[in-house]
Structure 1
């Protein structure tokens, strides 16, 4: 079995880099959705949601960088074009959303889909003892599950 420069099986690490690129593409769409929500939200909850959406897009921007750097660590090349992002996107595109309820629904739906992708990556990275990817996915999953819980609590008023 051929190992890469960080001691992981080369072929399996290549598969993981591909899966991480799919996650990267979806995070880029999630990020842009959040920017649109931040810019376009209206109504009595504007001030709270405007700030929350900014917090979420800043967090997603950090995660995007971490994912791209992990792809590079696994000897892959991170996606960096809108063409790749759209081709591999699995999230709903949020266009012209002004309503608070619809905005939160889009975020919950997006995070739920990101969690599915991340859990699949976590399973595959666990199979080859890729602790770097495991740790990153575990951190992402923990944070996103909590965010979903909080947003769902907000929806219940």
Structure 2
């Protein structure tokens, strides 16, 4: 089995990088959704949600960069066009959402999709001894599970 310069199986890391690119595309759509709801939110909860959505999109923007750098670390090229993102993404696109509950629901639905992808990467990276990707996914998953719980609590729903 051929290994790359960081000691990982080349075939396995190529597959993980492909999965990370899928995650990157979905994160970019999620990020753009967050920007949109941050800009367009209306109503009595505007002040609280406007700040929360900014916190979330700032975090998503950082994660986009981290994912792209991990793809590069594995020897692949990160996707970087909106055309690529829209072709690869499964996260729902939120357009002209200004109502609070619809905005929060979009976040929950988006994070649920991201969590599915991250768990797939977590499994693949574990099997490949790719601790870097594995730790990254583990951190993302624990943060996003908490955010889903909090958003669902805000909606008055259980996990």
2:73 maps to which residue?
73
The number of aligned residues is: 157
Give the CA RMSD over aligned residues: 0.8
1:2-151 correspondence to structure 2 within 5 Å: 2-151=2-151
* Superposed displacement of residue 53, structure 1: 0.2
Structure 1 gaps of 5+ residues are none
- Cα distance in 1 for partners of 2:115, 2:5 equals 29
- Cα distance in 2 for partners of 1:104, 1:77 equals 33
- Cα distance in 2 for partners of 1:81, 1:5 equals 28
* Superposed displacement of residue 91, structure 1: 1.0
* Offset from partner CA, 1:81-120 (integer Å, 9 cap, x none): 0111001010111000010000000000000000000000
Structure 2 gaps of 5+ residues are none
- Cα distance in 2 for partners of 1:23, 1:79 equals 10
- Cα distance in 2 for partners of 1:67, 1:5 equals 19
Q: TM-score, normalised by structure 1?
A: 0.99
The DSSP-based 3-state class of the residue aligned with 1:98 is coil
Q: TM-score, normalised by structure 2?
A: 0.98
- Cα distance in 2 for partners of 1:78, 1:60 equals 16
Superposition misfits of 4+ residues, deviation over 2 angstroms:
none
